[in-house]
Amino acid sequence: MSAPYLEIKGLKKTYNLKPILRGIDIVLDQGKCMALLGANGAGKTTLLRILACLTKHEAGTVRIDGLDIGQDVQQVRLLVGFVGHQPNLYDELTIIENLLFFGRMYSVKKARERAAVLLQRVGLARRSDERVGTLSRGQLQRLSLARALIHSPQLFLLDEPDAGLDDEGIELLEALIREHTEQGGTTLFTTHNFERAVKFSDQICMLSGGRVVYQQATTGLEAGGVRLAYQEALR
Amino acid sequence: MTFLLQVQAILWKDIRCELRSKQTWISMGLFALLVLVIFNFAFDLRVDNKAAIAPGALWVAFVFASLLGLGRTIAAEQEKGSMDRLMLCPVNRKAIYLAKLLGNILFITVVEVIALPIFAALFNVPLFTGELVPIVLLGTLGIATIGTLFSAIAAATQARELLLPILVFPLIVPVVIGAVRATGALMVSSINEPPWLGLMLAFDVIFLSVSLLTFEYVIEE
């Protein structure tokens, strides 16, 4: 039996002496998609930031594709594509310049061709020479998705990726996640939408007070059942 | 090779962003000119005291104007959150430091190139000699080296505008003294002057090495 693609054991993190994560254990196989649910402050964003090597954890181990994120940071960064709450793009640069810049940061070969394909995919190809500062919230989110995929990451981390997206954008997001998992990639995303969590993912994981309180495969699961479990967990 | 390409890409991005936003260059340039004009009015410049006052005024203008730009080096990216995205990339942190340093040197040099002729005209001093070039370059390198490192430290705090000068001024005292004295020596040649250029060079090499080695720990959370 092969090792899981993502393996989190006893992960702990505190901010200003306040425990945010109190011993998280999560296992996710390659090609699977997990939805992270939880109230505000449950530790979802902190968990994703640790996996993206943006925040250091204090205790526990995290392995991505067998690599320890504490020791093999640069290799792990190559494997991860991250979409955060905010787009955090360079407003003064154009759409294509933003993608090419991040392409260079990841040493992507044929970055221009890759950027063109991604812009076509997220529906921004015709606006590629426009400055990012002129884009709407939803378009910025689409561009963030393209940026996160510029280096063809194996692990796709999305922190509330549906924020600011219209129905068409949500469909695009779903398609991108599906394509990513079909190609063998692994996805972990946070959301507050139970229907979306059940529809997009293979597994659901619920955090409350920095602990995993519910973990379940989505096969045969309905949004109503998840909502009940969520309310039960928060009680 | 990847390292140099990443330095080049970050530098290109910073220059392009600055050319389009024009936030830092214009503020720095105007500030330097204002300082020079104020000093020109504040002091009673005579032939006998010019060499003592003018170099100090010039370097005060350069240092204050530089700090305006240095303060924005990392802070602007922190505020937009783009620093987080840069930190996500598998980029050697030394490449980030070097690119930011080169950008700062470029921005400060442009301000100096504009301010120097105005300084020469206002203070009526003949400073257009080739010997001034190494003094300005080494002085700028020293200020930018320390300023870039400490801008990363200050950017992580809420009182970054207050903190940066407090952190940077004490450390750049040796290079500023060297630059002022070396500039003064161009106006009035004096004997028994220490080798200011050598001292500035040593200062720059030491602080550049320290900054390259420590930047990673400063910038990572």
Give the DSSP per-residue string, chain A.
-PPPSEEEEEEEEEETTEEEEEEEEEEE-TT-EEEEEE-TTSSHHHHHHHHTTSS--SEEEEEETTEETTT-HHHHHHHEEEE-SS----TTSBHHHHHHHHHHHTT-TTHHHHHHHHHHHHT-GGGTTSBGGG--HHHHHHHHHHHHHTT--SEEEEESTTTT--HHHHHHHHHHHHHHHHTT-EEEEE-S-HHHHHHH-SEEEEEETTEEEEEEE-TT--HHHHHHHHHHHH-
| Best of A107, A147, A149 to mutate (most B CBs within 10 Å, chain B) | A107
User: CA dist B62 to A206, B68, B88, B109, Å?
Assistant: 56, 10, 34, 9
CA distance A86 to chain B (A): 8
Kindly determine whether residue B220 and residue A56, on different chains, have CB atoms separated by under 8 Å: yes
The pLDDT assigned to A106 comes to: 94
Contact A19, A176 (CB under 8 A): no
Question: Which CATH fold topology does A6-89+155-234 show?
Answer: Rossmann fold (3.40.50)
Burial class (CB in 10 A: 0-12, 13-18, 19+), A175: exposed
Question: How does B109-136 read in b/e, with b if 16+ C-beta sit within 10 Å?
Answer: eebbebbbebbbebbebebeeeebeebb
CA distance B143 to chain A (A): 27
DSSP for A30-46, written as a single string: TT-EEEEEE-TTSSHHH
DSSP for B190-204, written as a single string: -SS---HHHHHHHHH
From chain B, the residues in CB contact with A134 under 8 A are: none
Kindly determine whether residue A107 and residue B2, on different chains, have CB atoms separated by under 8 Å: yes
Kindly determine whether residue A88 and residue B221, on different chains, have CB atoms separated by under 8 Å: no
Kindly determine whether residue B89 and residue A106, on different chains, have CB atoms separated by under 8 Å: yes
Kindly determine whether residue B88 and residue A89, on different chains, have CB atoms separated by under 8 Å: no
> CA of A49: which chain B residue's CA is closest?
B88
For chain B, list residues whose CB is within 8 angstroms of any CB belonging to chain A: 2, 5-6, 9, 13, 16-17, 20-21, 80-82, 84-91, 220-221
pLDDT at B23 over 90: no
User: What does each of the 235 residues of chain A score in pLDDT, given as a tens digit?
Assistant: 578 899 999 999 998 889 999 999 999 999 999 999 998 888 999 999 999 999 999 999 999 999 999 899 999 999 999 998 888 999 999 999 999 999 999 999 999 999 999 999 999 999 999 999 999 999 999 999 999 999 999 999 999 998 888 889 999 999 999 999 999 999 999 998 888 888 889 999 999 889 998 888 888 888 888 888 888 877 7
Choose among A183, A193, A155, A142: nearest CA to A36: A193
The pLDDT assigned to B1 comes to: 64
> CA of A150: which chain B residue's CA is closest?
B89
Q: For A67-115, how does the pLDDT look when each residue is reduced to its tens digit (9 = 90+)?
A: 999 899 999 999 999 998 888 999 999 999 999 999 999 999 999 999 9
CA distance B5 to chain A (A): 8
Please give the structure tokens belonging to residue B143: 């200020």
| Closest CB from A54, A102, A107 relative to B87 | A54
> CA of A78: which chain B residue's CA is closest?
B90
Kindly determine whether residue A102 and residue B5, on different chains, have CB atoms separated by under 8 Å: no
pTM reported for the whole predicted model = 0.90
* Residue B2 C-beta-side C-alpha neighbours within 13 Å: 12
> CA of B76: which chain A residue's CA is closest?
A90
From chain A, the residues in CB contact with B6 under 8 A are: 104-105
CA distance B14 to chain A (A): 10
From chain A, the residues in CB contact with B94 under 8 A are: none
Kindly determine whether residue A55 and residue B221, on different chains, have CB atoms separated by under 8 Å: yes
The backbone region for A229, taken as left when phi is positive above 0, alpha when psi lies in -120 to 50, beta otherwise, is alpha
Distance of CA A172 to the CA centre of its chain: 15
From chain B, the residues in CB contact with A82 under 8 A are: 88
Q: What are the extents of the domains in chain B?
A: 2-219
For chain A, list residues whose CB is within 8 angstroms of any CB belonging to chain B: 52-56, 74-75, 77-78, 80, 82, 84, 86, 88-93, 97, 101-102, 104-107, 131, 147
| Closest CB from A77, A91, A93 relative to B90 | A77
Contact B86, A105 (CB under 8 A): yes
pLDDT at B61 over 70: yes
Contacts of B186 (CB under 8 A, 6+ apart): B127, B129, B131, B132, B135
Geometric angle at alpha carbon A133, from A127 and A134, rounded to 5°: 50
The pLDDT assigned to B47 comes to: 67
SS3 B128: coil
Contact B175, B143 (CB under 8 A): yes
Burial class (CB in 10 A: 0-12, 13-18, 19+), A119: buried
Round to whole Å and give the CA distance between B179 and A5.
Answer: 57
Average pLDDT over residues B22-42: 88
The pLDDT assigned to A1 comes to: 58
Q: For B113-138, how does the pLDDT look when each residue is reduced to its tens digit (9 = 90+)?
A: 999 999 888 888 877 788 889 999 99
Round to whole Å and give the CA distance between A214 and B96.
Answer: 41
Backbone torsions φ then ψ of A39, nearest 5 degrees: -70, 170
Round to whole Å and give the CA distance between B78 and A88.
Answer: 10
Residue with tokens 């519910």: A214
Round to whole Å and give the CA distance between B65 and B60.
Answer: 8
Kindly determine whether residue A74 and residue B90, on different chains, have CB atoms separated by under 8 Å: yes
Round to whole Å and give the CA distance between B83 and A116.
Answer: 24
CA distance A17 to chain B (A): 16
Q: What are the extents of the domains in chain A?
A: 6-89+155-234
Q: How much of chain B is in helix, strand and coil states, percent to nearest 5? A: 85, 0, 15
